[in-house]
Amino acid sequence: MPHRMHLMVCAGTGCVSNGSFKVREALQKEIAKRGLENEVQVVTTGCNGFCAAGPLMVVHPDGIFYQQLSVNDVPHLVEEHFLKGRPVQKLMYKPPETPSPVHKMMDIEFFKRQRLIALRDRGLIDPERIDEYIARDGYTALAKALTEMTSEQIVEEVKTSGLRGRGGAGFPTGVKWEVVRRAEGEPKYIICNGDEGDPGAFMDRSIIESDPHSVIEGMLIGGKAIGASQGVVYIRNEYPLALQRLIIAIDQAREYGLLGNDILGSGFSFDISITRGAGAFVCGEETALIAAVEGRLGEPRARPPYPAESGLWGKPTCINNVETWANVPPIINRGGKWYSEIGTETSKGTKVFSLVGKINNTGLVEVPMGITLREIIYEIGGGIPDGKKFKAVQTGGPSGGCIPGEQIDLPIDYESLTEAGSMMGSGGMVVMDEDTCMVDVARYFLAFTQDESCGKCIPCREGTKLMLDILTKITDGHGTLEDLLALEEVAKIVKETSLCGLGKTAPNPVLTTLRYFRDEYIAHIEAHKCPAHVCRQLNTYTINPQICVERGHGCGVCKRECPEKAIFGDKNQAHRIDPALCSKCGTCVDVCHFGAVIVD
Amino acid sequence: MPKLTLEDLKQIADKTRRLTNLRDGAGRAKVTVHMGTCGIAAGSRKIMDAVLREIEQRDLKDVLVTTSGCAGLCSREPMATVEVAGEAPVKYVDLTEGKVKRIFTEHVLGGKIVQECALAMGSERTH
């Protein structure tokens, strides 16, 4: 008896860490208990993208969306929906403005405004079963490329599509493939850059967890295009689930002869090996990555020569990002022209963004290039929580910059973001509200890049440390206007003279925050105040005596919890903080139930 | 496991096609068995089993089966709604396992509505 209903249980890292495996187990038990195991199938899928709502599940064929599931919800759900046919309203998604639940996944704003190409199979297949990938036209692009196209034609198709590298730099992929194809040297190599080091970015992790075959198929097609028979996936070690699913996928592809010798009887041979990262952000830089694969120290080198001419083991190498590879099969199947009709003049296709920070609908979204920030943040993202004001959005991770609230109608593409002082980067999008301190944001990113600097070149090694020291000085309240001038000068020098992308882009958070939020820097320096109250050393903590007595009755909790014993007062009387003893830790704010502590 | 040929690839895809149709909602026809309390009391569980049996016996890959609650006309349960792609839905009433078989052959596969078993065509007006 064929199953009439499929339960797509999300098992991306986000939902798994929230207990989706336990929910799945409970579902399987309850369904068996009710004798429905021949009618209702439980399928484990990769990340659906709406991580804020996990653990989540989609019921097909109706496309009904359930969110924030727990083991306790299962018996009622199985009885009401699967046995009796009555979908359970209280487990559905309720958008913030309307009180009524939305039944269907495609009616939820978060989902309906997206356009999935790289993420075309997400939530619809079990990533650990190659047959399901094949059922959704998997490996048909490979078949077409191997039996109906020449390598020149494959390269032409990718060039026509206008696909640009999704790792951050946005170099035209077809052009890169052309260079490698023509380069002299044997053997040639294909590399997939799965290092994804930007904090808050999880696009590549999601693609590998939900649809590893899309990457494998892309690499196979690339291999045929440039004339390589060996591919390497460099994946960061901090992604155990993605690594596990990739290994299973490669094994299954090998079993089916889709990797190995004489694939599909075409005479083309290709296999993939995996190299795991070891915790270095700089190894996302292509030459440092290649060094790591070769077993050398992960340090970048000067370019030219580019890897396309001289890469792995000194041979012509085509290295592309995970998301770039995932876009290749649909481009071959539906044509480069189809792809080029999506997006803007200079930026074709779609881009996957990880929408995080101060936003209601945290998750992973794929949208056509040219969409405005407003649509992403308000329509798809559901706006800022607690009705706070939107301040800025950081794009491109530590290499990117902040785009202020006034530019919310900016259409997203490579050029417009660069013009605004930021960059597309790998797709991280961190939303910030009025409670974010922009100077602290710059400091946070500099702390990251300074820590990850490999140390090979002086501008980055010394420059990032210098910038970090100045930023720390400013957030501690000891900054001067001379420091600000020095900061800007150092930033420009590091940007122009660093050896690799890490150093060249590390100053970006500083430069954009100086461009758009200079007043916050000035406030820190001249007024010794942090407008967002994030930099605690610049805050003053006082107790409002009226609230303390009328609401709190001088309860004394703050006095008890204060680590510096800086609070004085008796029961039923207004307490007060001695500013000389106060270390500005903020504990009193956290423990006061009555909101009596005022932060200024 | 033997190495795949192009033919093998197509066959695997075909075999698993039922799966994708179900998940994409891309079937040729959809049968909704009404299983509100009235339906269940009238025996819609048997009707559901009959529908699933038809699909299995004929090895149909593009017919979706789903459940729904009470359609409103409790006195005529068990009921089922048949929607063929591109056409208005048809409500069938007073169902028995025999009628299900006939509806499958004549309407779902043959495209011709079984007038004697049908109540009405179309959907109710909602806001």
Residue of B nearest to A136 (CA): B20
How close does chain A come to B3, measured CA to CA in Å?
4
Answer whether residue B13 is part of any domain: no
What pLDDT sits at residue B127? 57
What pLDDT sits at residue B2? 58
CA A49/CA A459 separation, integer angstroms: 39
Answer whether residue B14 is part of any domain: no
A12 contacts A55 by C-beta, under 8 angstroms: no
A102 contacts A65 by C-beta, under 8 angstroms: yes
Residue of B nearest to A39 (CA): B52
**Tokens 């309860």 -> residue:** A555
The answer, for B16 touching chain A at a CB cutoff of 8 Å, is yes
In this prediction the pTM is 0.87
Cβ of A533: how many Cβ atoms within 10 Å?
Answer: 16
CA A76/CA A59 separation, integer angstroms: 15
CA A255/CA B1 separation, integer angstroms: 6
Residue of A nearest to B68 (CA): A85
* DSSP-derived secondary structure for A151-166: HHHHHHHHHHHT-B-T
The answer, for B126 touching chain A at a CB cutoff of 8 Å, is no
A256–B25 CB contact, under 8 Å: no
A376 contacts A429 by C-beta, under 8 angstroms: yes
Residue of B nearest to A143 (CA): B6
Q: Which helix (H) or strand (E) holds A368?
A: strand A363-368
Going from the C-alpha of B35 to that of each of A161, B97, B108, the distances in angstroms are: 49, 15, 20
Report the relative pairing of strands B63-68 and B29-34 from DSSP bridges: parallel
A354 contacts A328 by C-beta, under 8 angstroms: no
CB-closest option in A136, A147, A256 to B6: A147
CB-closest option in B4, B36, B68 to A258: B4
Cα A360 → chain centroid: 16
CA B100/CA A111 separation, integer angstroms: 37
- List the domain range (segments joined by +) for residue B72: 26-121
Report the relative pairing of strands A57-60 and A5-10 from DSSP bridges: antiparallel
**Tokens 């922009």 -> residue:** A438
Report the relative pairing of strands A5-10 and A40-45 from DSSP bridges: parallel
CB-closest option in B6, B20, B33 to A143: B6
Answer whether residue B11 is part of any domain: no
Per-residue tokens: A54: 């996990």
Domain spanning A5-112: CATH 3.40.30.10: yes
Please choose, from the candidates A110, A207, A201, A113, the residue with its C-alpha nearest in 3D space to the C-alpha of residue A395.
Answer: A201
pLDDT surpassing 60 at residue B42: yes
What pLDDT sits at residue A232? 98
Cβ of A526: how many Cβ atoms within 10 Å?
Answer: 11
Domain spanning A350-433: CATH 3.10.20.600: yes
Say which residues have a Cβ less than 8 Å from residue A421's Cβ, sequence separation at least 6.
Answer: A401, A403, A508, A511, A512, A515, A516
How close does chain A come to B38, measured CA to CA in Å?
11
CA A478/CA A323 separation, integer angstroms: 44
Q: What is the pLDDT of residues A244-275, one digit of tens each?
A: 999 999 999 999 999 999 999 999 999 999 99
Considering only CB atoms, which residues of chain A are within 8 Å of chain B? 1-6, 8, 39, 60-63, 84-86, 124, 131-132, 134-140, 143, 147, 255-258, 260, 262, 264-265
Confidence of residue B1 (pLDDT cuts 50, 70, 90): very low
Q: State which fold the A130-340 domain adopts.
A: Rossmann fold (3.40.50)
For A83, what's the count of Cα atoms within 13 Å in the CB-facing half-sphere? Answer: 17
Domain ranges of chain A: 5-112, 130-340, 350-433, 438-527, 540-599
B24–A124 CB contact, under 8 Å: yes
The amino acid occupying position A197 is G
Task: Please report residues of B whose CB lies closer than 8 A to that of A63.
Answer: 25
**Cα distance from N-terminal residue to C-terminal residue, chain A:** 68
Three-class SS of chain B: CCCCCHHHHHHHHHHCHHHHHHHHCCCCEEEEEECCHHHHHHCHHHHHHHHHHHHHHHCCCCEEEEEECCCCCHHHCCCEEEEECCCCCEEECCCCHHHHHHHHHHHHHCCCCCCCCEEEECCCCCC
The answer, for B11 touching chain A at a CB cutoff of 8 Å, is no
Over chain A (600 residues), what is each successive 10-residue block's mean pLDDT? 87 91 95 91 91 92 92 94 86 82 84 92 89 93 96 97 95 97 97 94 92 97 97 96 95 96 94 96 96 96 94 97 97 97 96 94 93 94 92 93 93 93 91 95 96 96 96 95 96 96 94 95 95 92 92 90 92 91 92 90
Cβ of A545: how many Cβ atoms within 10 Å?
Answer: 15
Per-residue tokens: A455: 């140390």
Answer whether residue B47 is part of any domain: yes
Mean pLDDT of the B13-20 span: 79
> Which residues face B67 on adjacent strands?
B33
Helices of type H across A371-422: 373-374, 414-419
Q: Which residues of A117-148 are buried (b: 16+ CB within 10 A; e: fewer)?
A: bbbbbbbbbbbbbbbbbbbbbbbbbbbbbbee
Edge to edge, what strands does the sheet with B29-34 contain? B63-68, B29-34, B80-84, B90-92, B118-121
Interhelix angle A212-226/A151-161, nearest 10 degrees: 120
CA B39/CA A86 separation, integer angstroms: 12
> Which residues face A163 on adjacent strands?
none
B16–A135 CB contact, under 8 Å: yes
pLDDT surpassing 70 at residue B113: yes
Burial group, residue A431, by CB count within 10 angstroms (0-12, 13-18, 19+): buried
Task: Please report residues of A whose CB lies closer than 8 A to that of B68.
Answer: 85
How many domains are there within chain B? 1
CA A139/CA A379 separation, integer angstroms: 35
Say which residues have a Cβ less than 8 Å from residue A578's Cβ, sequence separation at least 6.
Answer: A566, A567, A568
CA A473/CA A194 separation, integer angstroms: 36
DSSP assignment letter at A70: -
Answer whether residue B12 is part of any domain: no
Task: Please report residues of B whose CB lies closer than 8 A to that of A1.
Answer: 52-53, 56
CA A471/CA A437 separation, integer angstroms: 12
The amino acid occupying position B94 is D
Task: Please report residues of A whose CB lies closer than 8 A to that of B12.
Answer: 131, 134-135
A502 contacts A491 by C-beta, under 8 angstroms: no
Domain spanning A438-527: CATH 1.20.1440.230: yes
Domain CATH for B103: 3.40.30.10
Residue of A nearest to B51 (CA): A4
B9–A86 CB contact, under 8 Å: no
Helices of type H across A170-211: 173-182, 203-210
CA A206/CA A321 separation, integer angstroms: 13
How close does chain B come to A85, measured CA to CA in Å?
5
Confidence of residue B122 (pLDDT cuts 50, 70, 90): confident
The answer, for B30 touching chain A at a CB cutoff of 8 Å, is yes
By three-state DSSP, how is residue A291 classified? helix
> Which residues face B84 on adjacent strands?
B29
User: What mean pLDDT is reported for chain B?
Assistant: 85
A61–B69 CB contact, under 8 Å: no
Lowest mean pLDDT among A114-118, B32-36, B121-125: B121-125
DSSP assignment letter at A118: T
| Coarse DSSP helix, strand, coil percentages of chain A, rounded to the nearest 5 percent | 45, 15, 40
**Tokens 């597309």 -> residue:** A424
By three-state DSSP, how is residue A213 classified? helix
DSSP assignment letter at A312: G
Going from the C-alpha of A84 to that of each of A81, A589, B39, B45, B66, the distances in angstroms are: 6, 50, 9, 9, 11
Task: Please report residues of B whose CB lies closer than 8 A to that of A139.
Answer: 9
Burial group, residue B45, by CB count within 10 angstroms (0-12, 13-18, 19+): middle
**ipTM attached to this prediction:** 0.71
Report the relative pairing of strands B63-68 and B118-121 from DSSP bridges: unpaired
**Cα distance from N-terminal residue to C-terminal residue, chain B:** 56
Task: Please report residues of A whose CB lies closer than 8 A to that of B34.
Answer: 85
How close does chain A come to B112, measured CA to CA in Å?
24
How close does chain B come to A347, measured CA to CA in Å?
29
Please choose, from the candidates A407, A411, A370, A371, the residue with its C-alpha nearest in 3D space to the C-alpha of residue A391.
Answer: A407
CATH code for residues A540-599: 3.30.70.20
CB-closest option in A4, A135, A140 to B52: A4
